[in-house]
Structure 1
Amino acid sequence: MEREGGGEDDIVCLDGSFFINDDYQLTKFTFGSQVLELFCLHSASTDFDLTGQLVWPGAMLLNDYLSKNAEILRGCSVIELGSGVGVTGILCSRFCHEVVLTDHNEEVLKILNKNIELHTSSENRNCTGLVAKKLEWGSSTQIKQILDEHSGGFDLVLGADICFQQSSIPLLFDTVAQLLHVRRGQCKFILAYVSRAKILDAMVTNEAISHGMQISEVVGTRTIVGNLEGVIYEITLQ
């Protein structure tokens, strides 16, 4: 730790490692007949930007939905936005032929890659086609790099509990729009949304509409997750 200046208005400069908690624990999750083990934190890091080190309620909601409707995954190519530790992408890889997991944070990408390695090791080969990529929402350059490697685009775009910052929601839908346009009419965005503020509820709907998308609630998916209301949305280009 370093101090700059003097007096009452001292500025304390902390090394970035101060915020990082990497005490990951191997944790078991069960979704229907699917049992996953992966490394994650059980409590939040000091740094707000490291929320991806946890498994959030929306991921549990999405995985429960996907495990009950696995037919929508079979043989598909999938890209997940804000993958965090990878619990949703790894589940998908048991049914899909290709799964691209993405996150923007380098520390989160480390644990994401560790979990991919765990599930593609010689002892655990029931997950295939898993790869992690860095993706900042709204970055046309990074999206292009991913699409250059996957020129046919994707059948599904997935997101779980990724709408909790107002500033990120327009960038999220910019990214989704670019991905959906590659396979217009054949690709859809499945979003597990957890309601934390009415202003965010409205932003998600309004951003989808302003990007030329149709947003529909999947019947029967509205439920309580982690003491909050969650729902599955299907979002397509109009």
Structure 2
Amino acid sequence: MQKQGELDDDDDTVCLGSSFFVDRNYELTTFTFGSHVLNLLCLRSASTDYDLTGQLVWPGAVLLNNYLSQHAEILEGCSVIELGSGVGITGILCSRFCQEVLLTDHNEEVLEIMKKNIELHSSSVLTAEKLEWGNCDHIIQILEKHPKGFDLILGADICFQQSSISHLFDTVKKLLQFNRSKCRFILAYVSRSKIMDTLVVNEAGQHGMQVNEVPGTRTTITNLEGVIFEITLK
């Protein structure tokens, strides 16, 4: 089977590395959420590589940041881990209120731009780690570095690929169980298919979690329906 980056011409094959497809034309872009202004490096449009969607700011991140900027009391003094942080726009906003913010992603290229944005903001509460959903070693390493666990787990527009949802909730469950008494998962969900809508709720239930829609958060953003869910262990 021919793979992306391979061009066959009889016996001649040209193999292009994955870096050939990487777009690094980042632009310093200003985002405003309430009274909070953030400047971040990001792409203006999505990469051709599905795995590099974290290089730009997605509608769900805007939805979550607007919600958090209006309800900053949720964040005050908290320890936060964000899943699928991308360029880091949500975690960076959180750093203005939280005592500790860990941004995570599984892709090395995305982690690189995330770390550049952390450097731009020079915040002592911001750190970044690699976290592949469902990877027990990654989760253990993170919890060893953060033995008190986290007060909040955040995710913005991270439900794209059906095969990843079970791994997502495996990871969320382990993080929730580590600090069961008070930890919760706040998910900014953007609906792009009915199948995914059902899958997210079903997977949460199968992992022993309760999904509650935050009243007043259902809205239209870039012609898509978005909502904030609060997810806890049953």
Q: TM-score range by the shorter chain?
A: over 0.9
% same residue: 69
| Structure 1 runs (4+) greater than 4 angstroms displaced | 1-5
Give, in whole Å, the separation in 2 of the partners of 1:2 and 1:211: 40
In structure 1, runs of 5+ residues without a counterpart are 121-126
TM-score of the aligned structures, taking structure 2 as reference length: 0.95
The within-5 A match list for 1:36-55 is 36-55=38-57
- Do structure 1's residue 158 and structure 2's residue 162 form an aligned pair? no
In structure 2, runs of 5+ residues without a counterpart are none
**Secondary structure at the residue paired with 1:80?**
strand
Any idea what the Cα deviations from partners look like across 1:76-106, whole Å, max 9, x if unmatched? Answer: 0000000000000000000000000000000
**Secondary structure at the residue paired with 1:192?**
strand
- Do structure 1's residue 35 and structure 2's residue 31 form an aligned pair? no
Any idea what the Cα deviations from partners look like across 1:36-81, whole Å, max 9, x if unmatched? Answer: 0010000111211000001000000000000000001000000000
Aligned to 1:181: 177
Aligned to 2:10: 6
Any idea what the Cα deviations from partners look like across 1:203-237, whole Å, max 9, x if unmatched? Answer: 10001100100100000000001110000000000
Give the superposition deviation at 1:128: 3.4
**Secondary structure at the residue paired with 1:102?**
strand
- Do structure 1's residue 68 and structure 2's residue 70 form an aligned pair? yes
Give, in whole Å, the separation in 2 of the partners of 1:216 and 1:31: 24
Any idea what the Cα deviations from partners look like across 1:4-55, whole Å, max 9, x if unmatched? Answer: 5717xx7653221221000000000000010000100001112110000010
- Do structure 1's residue 190 and structure 2's residue 186 form an aligned pair? yes
Any idea what the Cα deviations from partners look like across 1:133-164, whole Å, max 9, x if unmatched? Answer: 00000001000000000001000000000001
Of 38, 59, 62, which aligns to 2:61? 59
Give, in whole Å, the separation in 2 of the partners of 1:135 and 1:83: 10
C-alpha contact 1:169 1:204 (8 A) present in aligned 2? yes
Of 139, 143, 155, which aligns to 2:139? 143
**Secondary structure at the residue paired with 1:173?**
helix
TM-score of the aligned structures, taking structure 1 as reference length: 0.94
Aligned in 2, Cα 1:2/1:227: closer, same or farther, shift over 3 Å? closer
Give, in whole Å, the separation in 1 of the partners of 2:109 and 2:6: 23
Give the aligned length: 230
Aligned to 1:17: 19
Give, in whole Å, the separation in 2 of the partners of 1:197 and 1:65: 23
User: What amino acid does structure 2 have at the position aligned with 1:115?
Assistant: N
**Secondary structure at the residue paired with 2:111?**
helix
Aligned to 2:221: 225
Give, in whole Å, the separation in 2 of the partners of 1:51 and 1:95: 27
Give the superposition deviation at 1:2: 6.5
C-alpha contact 1:4 1:13 (8 A) present in aligned 2? no
Aligned to 2:115: 113
**Secondary structure at the residue paired with 2:124?**
coil
Of 188, 193, 197, which aligns to 1:201? 197
User: What amino acid does structure 2 have at the position aligned with 1:132?
Assistant: A
C-alpha contact 1:73 1:96 (8 A) present in aligned 2? yes
C-alpha contact 1:97 1:128 (8 A) present in aligned 2? no
